[in-house]
Structure 1
């Protein structure tokens, strides 16, 4: 028998991710995306697979060194639409349900995405980017190696860049239709706005979309839901320009429109709720106003990417629906009724990261991940909870790998609040031995560590470290008061929560070596790492990733800084600069003695690299132990969906720093 080993950073190249699942209309088959890494090119490759729910190996339907994503069955079951990069830009393609070659459906100049079938399977609603002088009929004829002329960039809007796409141009995301048989294109929207598609009305005469069509979208920061008539392109607004709403679905009988959103009562810390719009009476009401949970999947991980929340999935009788919610480190599937009753269909210690429902037969295919299972697809009977595994994507590779499980812990913060988290023992743990221990802090801060696979954690436990990760106040999953408690108090009680986790590890885990504690985190977790080493010398080594060090400069350089600073820190560069400086780790840089590794992506526009540069120079000027690693071309998503080689390099830098200073 082969001796098992712990996992290493490079094993990321061997692991496959399965997700973006879609059940066929009759519930007999499921299409999904399998993503893996081309080990020679260090690039992601995604393909469409189709399987039968009764069993058997899923069959690969698309091939090539491309990204094939977003598979959707036509309602008549004859086709699968998907998005592919095979032509050089993302375009929509069709596959016959009987197999064969894919047919390119769109050839839009700036690509096409987000295909949504009409109920009669004749037409697909999709999005494409258009400049003011472009038409939907303009085709993509730009060669891959064609270079644009060098031009100065003129900026007039406060929102002129985005971490996901970089610097914004004058293109806007618009809605369009394409007839599957005739290939006729119809542009539905226009103007200097971005539109997100929602769904079709059951009779096919209308579609829904979400957008901010207010006079000052850069300042109002809302998302309204609209109904658009296809015949005359008239629109009807369903929400009140006072919140963020989206993920819209229409009930099969046409009487209700469901959506997920909130009215920004707590700005970015507001829990998302389920809302129902009565089409006949033109009334909008919140179904979960008194339910203190977050609707949707907000779990933090570093393995799965590209999966989106499924929204509200109606049952055939239009009396109820299924949805995903997040609670206490888990995501689960719930059933809700139009009267507002909510019942769990699947809620275990696990992460549901993708979902497709056979509403007629109350069955579903779900993607499930746990700390020791990267993720696979399962068929679930939503009435009985019975599970049947459909894919075994990583079983062969993991057969010789030893993974560390995550054991839940709960402890008290200094003010008595309960804080929840997990501890992972080192791989091949030996009773009676003391181990260096690393405390992990997640980003957000309005997100949630969960019972899901985390490659970074497994790499560290395989190297002989214990890992402690928790959800301090500010995290989702523990109610509205808990998630809101961090705003205006960054580095206050949230800092005490994280330190309470370290104290718990020292006093309750007899295998923790108190003299060899490390800490790391990214984004908000990077802020907290910077803050902690400026306020205590408890930790022998620290790694800060894509962090915030200076709220004063963050205000003007981050793509969200001008509003996030007010929402979260409750300070403003113009009217209350001292508040921003008070909560800036850079203010306390003179106190830092802990050896600090600084990791940052050079194309990070969410927490721009100047945040790392300021911290590094301030430390080096004082001759403090530090090192700065810059990742070329990487944005804020480096650890999750960044270049595979750079993701591996990042993990090894983290591991090597702790090896150097913790042993």
Structure 2
């Protein structure tokens, strides 16, 4: 795979399965270099495997399909160029989609009522005079924001205090009625009748965000997740609420029962309410390395019951799917995989997929389970879950494989203290010796996987052996593995990545131990910058969107009010003992610093201070700033910027660590 092949990198949504069980519908998206945007349409997938998938919609970006409970309608989100996504409904047999919403800031999620007559959705409500609500007032002409909280912005979105997310309900449209013509104005300027979408009814309000909605099976209540407690500005707690569909006050179901940071909530078919949450401790902020467990509320007013052990099971990267009367499907983050797991209200677990597959989402109809997934051969495909594993229904990455995809080699290396470090090597074709790139993931409580990864493929196609591992601090190996670097960043995580590098060079043929580079983004940018202050073996380095200066992170990052406090502590000397900025004077390695102008997670100042310190000390360095991009550039940025980023990275390596196929 080369950077120019980004168009072939597909993503597949959670499937929705027709109640009759004969077909599923998914959204298939991909970066379009021509449109310089992510585009996608809906596809219908016959479950028999005897017929080919067919294009179902033709929008610019159609996503999140969901059949109505009776299977007669299909709802989805449609985004037009440079406009936010809106809710649409179409006859499930096909036809012209009917718009349901025309929200100024779009719709982020939705759910069908059990009778299929109503749709609930979540949308941000802008303050009047902001975000284009008053014609003629552009962003620079808006009134000043008066801020009295610590949490007031979010990476990828911007300010949140003046556009809170709330729950709305609206009647499902009649997609079979004739459209109303646009009225001609009367002589007095009025119109007789009108066209447009129905006015939704708001169910929640207040200075907080609501989301993760689910209808109760009787259709009378909607469960959602929100942080409404008085200390929400200084802790990470959130709770499960319910609100009557007919309107009324929201009721907190979990706040008095524990210190939860809730991820998702979903009713099962028999009315019990499941939710996933981290226990963030007495302080409400103890999030480092905390796995997400599954809980159940058997009836309103009852205390939640813990169903899974957070030490060994992690449902952080999981949306709950109702399955059978008293069971749900969730995804266990384990050793670089996302394992589809059935859990019932008694806490009994059944694993449905293997330890190599990344299950992205699951749709259910009766006993039929359809999943989207990724593995070593695909960035996204669709399969039916059978008793003997997955039965693939699509091969959406075949065009990408035709361009060239290299399989990773899985390794476990024993570190210097006897601790096993797990990871992968993606090596170029040929005998070598190949120059080596040690790449470090973000998080830190995240993980590399063995699935098809565009970055590793692009670098390997350019002639580099890519070494990537999940050191201590990563997710998927138990809480102790993730929590050990709390206020000890740059200790065992540093030795783990170096020991894995040495082990990979020793165990995988064709790797050149004398020609090695290092790179990483976010926490990976942190550990790259920290490593080159302590180990000088590397020909060059790339520090991308890094957490580089814990002291200046506070008050500038959208997570600055808590992230550094928990990971590096609050004592000034303790913070400096883990700060790349504090030891930048030890760097000798040529270093490229990559960042985005709108990054609110690791703000641009982190890169500018680090780059300036290198420059003032005479280290060979360059600062690259991508306009308009945020912390997610490498994953969901504008496609042309993503391609340019690859070109800049490969140009840096061509100069400082040339390969046979990447040299100046």
Say whether the fold is shared (TM-score over 0.5): yes
Equivalent position of 2:621 in the other structure: 626
Look up the SS of the partner of 2:346 in the other structure. coil
Structure 1 residue ranges without an equivalent (≥5): 1-6, 298-308
2:554 corresponds to: 555
Does the Cα contact within 8 Å between 1:107 and 1:139 map onto a contact in 2? no
* Shift in CA distance, 516/72, structure 1 to aligned 2, threshold 3 Å: same
Give the direction of change, closer, same or farther, for the CA distance of 1:375–1:595 in structure 2 (3 Å limit). same
User: Residue 225 of structure 1 contacts residue 246 of structure 1 at CA under 8 Å; is this kept in 2?
Assistant: no
Cα distance in 2 between the residues matched to 1:202 and 1:144: 46
| CA–CA separation in structure 2 for the residues paired with 1:202 and 1:12 | 42
CA distance in 1, matches of 2:347, 2:45: 35
Match of 1:425 in 2: 427
Q: Distance in 2 between matches of 1:48 and 1:155?
A: 42
How do residues 473-484 of structure 1 correspond to structure 2 at under 5 angstroms? 473-484=472-483
Q: Which residue pairs with 1:402 in the alignment?
A: 404
Q: Is 1:243 matched up with 2:260?
A: yes
2:218 maps to 203
Inter-CA distance 280–8: structure 2 relative to 1 (3 Å threshold):
closer
Match of 1:45, SS state, is strand
Corresponding position of 1:22: 16
The Cα of 1:424 is off from its aligned counterpart by 1.5
Alignment of 1:346-365 (within 5 A): 346-358=353-365, 360-361=366-367, 363-365=368-370
- Partner Cα distance (1:658, 1:95) in 2: 50
User: Which segment drifts farther, 274-283 or 198-207?
Assistant: 274-283
Q: Measure, in 2, the Cα distance between the counterparts of 1:140 and 1:58.
A: 40
> Which runs of structure 2 are paired with 1:153-302 in the superposition (5 Å)?
153-181=145-173, 183=198, 185-240=200-255, 242-254=259-271, 256-265=272-281, 266-279=286-299, 282-289=302-309, 292-297=312-317
Secondary structure of the corresponding residue to residue 658 of structure 1: helix
Compute the displacement of 1:465 (Å). Answer: 1.0
Distance in 1 between the 2:415 and 2:649 partners?
28
- In structure 2, C-alpha distance between the alignment counterparts of 1:200 and 1:43, rounded to whole Å: 33
> How far, CA to CA, are the matches of 2:399 and 2:289 in structure 1?
42
Task: Using structure 2 for the length normalisation, give the TM-score.
Answer: 0.90
For residues 319-342 of structure 1, what are the alpha-carbon distances to aligned partners after superposition, in whole Å with 9 as ceiling and x for unaligned? x33221111111111122222121
Counterpart of 2:114 (choices 94, 98, 119) is 119
Counterpart Cα distance in 2 of 1:218 and 1:178: 31
Structure 2 CA distance, aligned partners of 1:257 and 1:419? 38
Is the 1:85–1:91 contact (alpha carbons within 8 Å) kept by the matching residues of 2?
yes
Q: Report what 2:378 is aligned to.
A: 373
Distance of aligned partners of 1:346 and 1:174 in 2 relative to their CA distance in 1, 3 Å threshold: same
> Hey, what does 2:602 align to over in structure 1?
607
How far apart are residue 171 of structure 1 and its match?
A: 1.8
User: What does residue 332 of structure 1 align with?
Assistant: 339
- Residue pair 1:261, 1:274 contacting (<8 A) in 2 also: yes
| CA distance in 2 between partners of 1:645 and 1:515 (Å) | 34
Mapped to 2, the partners of 1:143 and 1:72 lie a distance apart of: 35
Give the match's secondary structure for 2:6: helix
Given that 1:441 and 1:528 are in contact with CA atoms closer than 8 Å, whether structure 2 keeps it comes out as yes
Separation in 2 of the partners of 1:460 and 1:630?
21
1:66-105 equivalences in 2 (<5 Å): 66-86=60-80, 88-105=83-100
Residues 261/209 of structure 1: CA separation in 2 closer, same or farther (3 Å cut): same
What SS does structure 2 have at the residue aligned with 1:219?
coil
Contact kept in structure 1, 2:253 and 2:301, CA below 8 Å = no
1:495 shift after superposition: 0.8
How much does 1:612 deviate? 0.8
Distance in 2, matches of 1:544 and 1:140, equals 37
Higher mean C-alpha displacement, 89-98 vs 231-240: 231-240
Distance (Å, rounded) in 2 between the aligned partners of 1:613 and 1:290: 39
Provide closer, same or farther for how the CA distance between residues 655 and 352 of structure 1 changes in structure 2, counting only shifts above 3 A: same
Please, which moves more after superposition, 44-53 or 591-600?
44-53
Q: What value does the CA root-mean-square deviation take over the aligned residues?
A: 2.3
- Work out the CA distance in 2 between the residues paired with 1:624 and 1:506: 28
Distance 1:144 1:596 in 2: 45
> Distance between the aligned counterparts of 1:140 and 1:81, measured in 2?
27
Shift of 1:109: 3.5
Query: Aligned partners of 1:466 and 1:139: how far apart in 2?
Result: 47
Aligned CA distance change for structure 1 residues 150 and 115 (closer, same or farther; 3 Å): closer
Q: Decide whether the 8 Å contact of 1:108 with 1:140 is kept in 2.
A: no
- Structure 2 CA distance for aligned equivalents of residues 97 and 314 of structure 1: 22
> Unmatched 5+ residue regions in structure 2?
175-197, 659-664
Change (3 A) 1:534 1:327: same
Does residue 314 (structure 1) correspond to residue 331 (structure 2)? The answer is no
Shift of 1:36: 2.5
Q: What secondary structure, in the 3-state scheme, does the structure 2 residue paired with 1:619 have?
A: helix
Contact 1:259 1:312 in 2 (8 A): no
Is 1:126–1:197's contact at 8 Å kept on the other side of the alignment? Answer: no
Structure 2 CA distance, aligned partners of 1:646 and 1:49? 28
Structure 2 distance, partners of 1:144, 1:31, is 41
Q: Work out the CA distance in 2 between the residues paired with 1:143 and 1:46.
A: 31
After superposition, the Cα gap between the structure-2 partners of 1:597 and 1:144, relative to the gap in structure 1 and judged at 3 Å, is farther
SS in structure 2 at match of 1:557? coil
Q: TM-score, normalised by structure 1?
A: 0.90
Question: CA 1:618 to 1:322, structure 2 compared with 1: closer, same or farther past 3 Å?
Answer: same
Instruction: Give, in angstroms, the shift of residue 141 of structure 1.
Output: 8.0
Aligned residue-pair number:
627
> After the TM superposition, which of the residue ranges 146-155 and 242-251 deviates more from structure 2?
146-155
After superposition, what is the alpha-carbon deviation per residue over 1:270-298, rounded to whole angstroms, capped at 9, x for unaligned? Answer: 1100101110671211000366121143x
